[in-house]
Amino acid sequence: MKETKGIRLHIGFFGQRNAGKSTVVNNIIGQELSIVSSKKGTTTDVNEKAMELLPIGPVVLLDTAGIDDVGEVGKLRVKSALKALNRCDVVVFVKDNNPLSDIEKNFIKDVKEKKLVLLSVINKTDLGEISKQDFEFLKNLSDGVIKREGNNFVKDFKDALIKILPENIINQGLILSDIIKPDETCILVIPIDKEAPKGRIILPQVNVIRELLDNNSLSLVCTPDKLDLAIKSLKTPPKLVVCDSQAFKKVSEIVPEEIMLTSFSILFARLKGDFNSFLYGCQKIDNLNENDKILILESCSHHPIEDDIGRVKIPNLLKKYTKKNLIFEHYSGHDFPSDIEKYSLIIHCGACMTTRREVLNRIEISKSKNVPITNYGMTIAKCTGILERSIKPLCF
């Protein structure tokens, strides 16, 4: 009944070693997520905590290592911390009473260049105040500045967040409520195949069902072989049919043209990414040449199955569609290569297990390198000849 991790607001806590990041995080959650010590470098990996931060809603707090860590291992910790920036909707910069270092100033400037929401928390005020010059620097570059003092810090923190959070971040999570009205019917076509986890259905399907219920819409769930029966059993035709991308071709042949059709992955192209950028990237499939390299990004780490969608089905579809020999490389989890210029196309998964911020960051990097990027659902729709029909429900 709770929001999934990938849809929760991600709030990252950053700062130099011993600035008090972990103390601030522990203060907010009301328990010890991270070990607190006066010794520098106590936090080594990114610690995560999912919680309900009322009245803001479901969030994930990320406590990171110091951005000034030293040594070979320290450099790896800094790299891990900075990598976590790509998942954050909000960056909380924790500053102690020491003068701002060049590392801190450069970090703050980098956060603003990434267009992230920045809240600065001035910590350890009992040891002394920061200089007026440093305070003005934080004030000018942050969306908000608060001090951690007294017993009202958690309230002050939440009030500051509510004040600076953009409306599109607070209300993110719309999947199809603008397409399906209350009392209208949506048929969800869910194959039970090798990729369906035993005893349950995958996360995007769960998210869609929950939103239909919240919207007071009607949902009918079936497998592809029962779709024709499902449509005929309704007195009023469904407003929309949503299917697994892998069943696109078969489903499109069954669903009458007057009924809207799309896929879970295409719905998530809008929910988790930039729909128009993905659509533009998809059109570039027609420009692929012999031996072009294609990067396939999988948000979650998993053991590939025999007929894996990202490692088998999509490569085979693209080779068949383009009639060219193409070279595929795969990255899983939060990894994203720095040398993407060597790729002619990037294909992102549905991103159900990561944040919209991380996907948007990847899209922006791809644009800056002039590398087209699209996603699984659009790629499959393009290769099966039903792209125009499948995106129509989302093109108002």
Convert the pLDDT of each residue in 365-377 to its tens digit: 899 899 999 999 9
Whether residues 83 and 121 share a domain: the answer is yes
Ranking 113-127, 273-287, 350-364 by mean pLDDT, the lowest is 350-364
Separation between Cα atoms, residue 38 and residue 61, nearest integer Å: 22
The pLDDT score that the predictor gives to residue 169 is: 58
Whether residues 124 and 220 share a domain: the answer is no
Q: What is the pTM of this model?
A: 0.69
| Element housing 353 (H / E) | none
Of 141, 170, 199, which residue is a domain's last?
170
The two structure tokens encoding residue 294: 């294609």
The pLDDT confidence band at residue 1, using thresholds 50, 70 and 90, is very low
Whether residues 15 and 151 share a domain: the answer is yes
Q: Is residue 46 domain-resident?
A: yes
Whether residues 281 and 308 share a domain: the answer is yes
Higher pLDDT, 96 or 356: 96
Separation between Cα atoms, residue 81 and residue 97, nearest integer Å: 22
Supply φ then ψ for residue 33, to 5 degrees: -75, -40
The contacts of residue 365 (CB under 8 Å, 6+ apart) are 336, 340
CATH assignment at residue 49: 3.40.50.300
The pLDDT confidence band at residue 396, using thresholds 50, 70 and 90, is low
Whether residues 42 and 160 share a domain: the answer is yes
Determine contact, residues 205/188, Cβ cutoff 8 Å.
Answer: yes
Whether residues 198 and 338 share a domain: the answer is no
Q: Is residue 4 domain-resident?
A: no
Alpha-carbon distance values, 373 to 142, 151, 168, 284, 385 (Å): 31, 48, 23, 9, 19
Supply φ then ψ for residue 87, to 5 degrees: -100, -5
Number of domains in the chain: 3
* Full residue range of the structural domain in which residue 348 is found: 274-383
Q: Is residue 396 domain-resident?
A: no
Separation between Cα atoms, residue 326 and residue 179, nearest integer Å: 37
Q: Is residue 22 domain-resident?
A: yes
Separation between Cα atoms, residue 41 and residue 65, nearest integer Å: 7
Q: Is residue 261 domain-resident?
A: yes
CATH assignment at residue 257: 3.40.50.11420
Of 267, 296, 317, which residue is a domain's last?
267
Q: Looking at the predicted structure, is the pLDDT value of residue 5 above 60?
A: no
Amino acid letter, 143: D
Whether residues 162 and 27 share a domain: the answer is yes
The pLDDT score that the predictor gives to residue 2 is: 46
Of 119, 135, 170, which residue is a domain's last?
170
Whether residues 327 and 372 share a domain: the answer is yes
Write out pLDDT tens, residues 50-75: 888 877 777 889 999 999 998 998 88
Rg of the chain over all Cα atoms, to the nearest angstrom: 23
Separation between Cα atoms, residue 295 and residue 329, nearest integer Å: 5
The pLDDT score that the predictor gives to residue 131 is: 92
Ranking 8-17, 175-184, 199-208 by mean pLDDT, the lowest is 199-208
Q: Is residue 236 domain-resident?
A: yes
| DSSP per-residue codes, 44-78 | -S-EEEEEEETTTEEEEEEE---TT--HHHHHHHH
Q: Is residue 393 domain-resident?
A: no
Q: Is residue 395 domain-resident?
A: no
Whether residues 158 and 244 share a domain: the answer is no
Whether residues 44 and 135 share a domain: the answer is yes
Whether residues 262 and 280 share a domain: the answer is no
**77-86 long-range Cβ contacts below 8 angstroms, 24+ apart:** 77/41, 77/44, 77/45, 80/45, 80/46, 81/14, 81/46, 83/334, 84/12, 84/46, 85/12, 85/14, 85/110, 85/111, 85/114, 85/116, 86/334, 86/336, 86/357, 86/358, 86/361, 86/362
DSSP class of 309: I
Q: Classify residue 170 as exposed, middle or buried by CB count within 10 Å of its CB (0-12, 13-18, 19+).
A: middle
Whether residues 333 and 365 share a domain: the answer is yes
Alpha-carbon distance values, 222 to 5, 208, 230 (Å): 26, 14, 7
Size of the chain, expressed as the number of residues it contains: 396
